[in-house]
Chains A and B, each alone.
Chain A
């Protein structure tokens, strides 16, 4: 396990090292959004004094290495009527968590799915899956669907609904 983590860290370090100054400038210019003009990548290229094909090539490379997760629209779930946001938490066997986590992550209604540490005895849960629904009842139904998928490996679960945003800042990267 430790070796795997070290390896993963090394891979991530290499990916960080692979970004040059031009990549970092592209990230800086696009982290708050893509320009809403006919040729958005050319717009970025012009500001950097390079060709649009270079911007596209570099962004494609960042996409392949996972630095860019995807280029897409992110809906504001509150505005779309998804007002019940539940963090479902599960106690599943550690030796099965990777396989189970991927299965849960594949469910359409799960937006985030992670393995996190337990704090025994008070916090037994190691698998976290966020669900978004219109109502709390609907969210609980989604939780039940995850429970069915986990079957005998569901050794306990809970759901934590958000009731208030205390702070939310846009994540800006120090490059």
Chain B
């Protein structure tokens, strides 16, 4: 990646203006043409170096409910359990981690009651205890990766 792309990513991780011609503003700051910034942004998104560009909404403030859930799955059952858990549309993410607690999924539902419902259902289907760990307080969310 060249220096200009690095500069663009580092600058835009910090924020983007709410103004009539925001790309022009950012381009001037970088000392480049607006069209060059738009082309490069489009490439960075196409090449999936950026996964998103735009407003980050706080889903909880939009009325949704979320939770992180951990399960200790015996290695031999892992694929089978993973298939069952992933089949729920409410499971937004699911990660394998190298730990005794090796499955970590994120539930996204319309209401807090639904979180408990889905977890009970999953527990019954997989025959294992799930550990529901919703956030009690948030201290920081954001990604600042120097590139």
User: Is A47 on the interface with B (CB-CB < 8 A)?
Assistant: no
A40 CB–B CB distance under 8 Å: yes
Give the CA-CA distance A87 to B61 in the complex, in Å: 25
Q: Main SS of the interface on chain B?
A: mixed
For B39, give the chain A residue with the smallest CB separation: A36
- Check A132/B145 contact, CB under 8 A, given A75-B13, A113-B139, A116-B134: yes
| Chain A stretch 141-175: residues in CB contact (< 8 A) with chain B | 158, 160-169, 171, 173-175
Q: How far is the CB of A127 from chain B (nearest CB, A)?
A: 9
In the assembled complex, the CB of A132 is this many whole angstroms from the nearest CB of chain B, namely 6
A158–B99 contact, CB under 8 A? yes
A83 interface hit (Cβ, 8 Å): no
Contact A68 B21 (CB under 8 A): no
| Cβ contact within 8 Å between B41 and A75 | no
If A160-B97, A169-B92, A173-B59 touch, whether A74 touches B143 (CB-CB below 8 Å) is: yes
Is A98 located at the chain interface by the 8 A CB criterion? yes
A33 lies within 8 A of B53 (CB): yes
As a 0/1 sequence over residues 52 to 88 of chain B, the CB contacts with chain A under 8 angstroms (1 = contact) are 1111111111111000101000000000001001100
For the complex, what is the distance from the CA of A12 to the CA of B136, rounded to whole Å? Answer: 14
Instruction: For the complex formed, measure the closest distance between the CB of B67 and the CB atoms of chain A, giving whole angstroms.
Output: 9
Binding site for B on A (CB under 8 A): 12, 15-16, 19, 27, 30-34, 36-42, 52, 56, 59-60, 62-63, 65-77, 79-80, 82, 87, 97-98, 101-102, 104-106, 108-117, 119, 123, 128, 132, 158, 160-169, 171, 173-175
- Sample (28) of A-B pairs whose CB atoms are under 8 Å apart: A19-B62, A31-B55, A33-B54, A34-B55, A36-B41, A38-B21, A38-B23, A42-B20, A52-B20, A59-B18, A65-B61, A66-B58, A70-B55, A72-B15, A75-B50, A80-B147, A98-B139, A105-B140, A110-B140, A111-B140, A116-B133, A160-B98, A162-B97, A167-B94, A168-B92, A168-B94, A171-B92, A174-B110
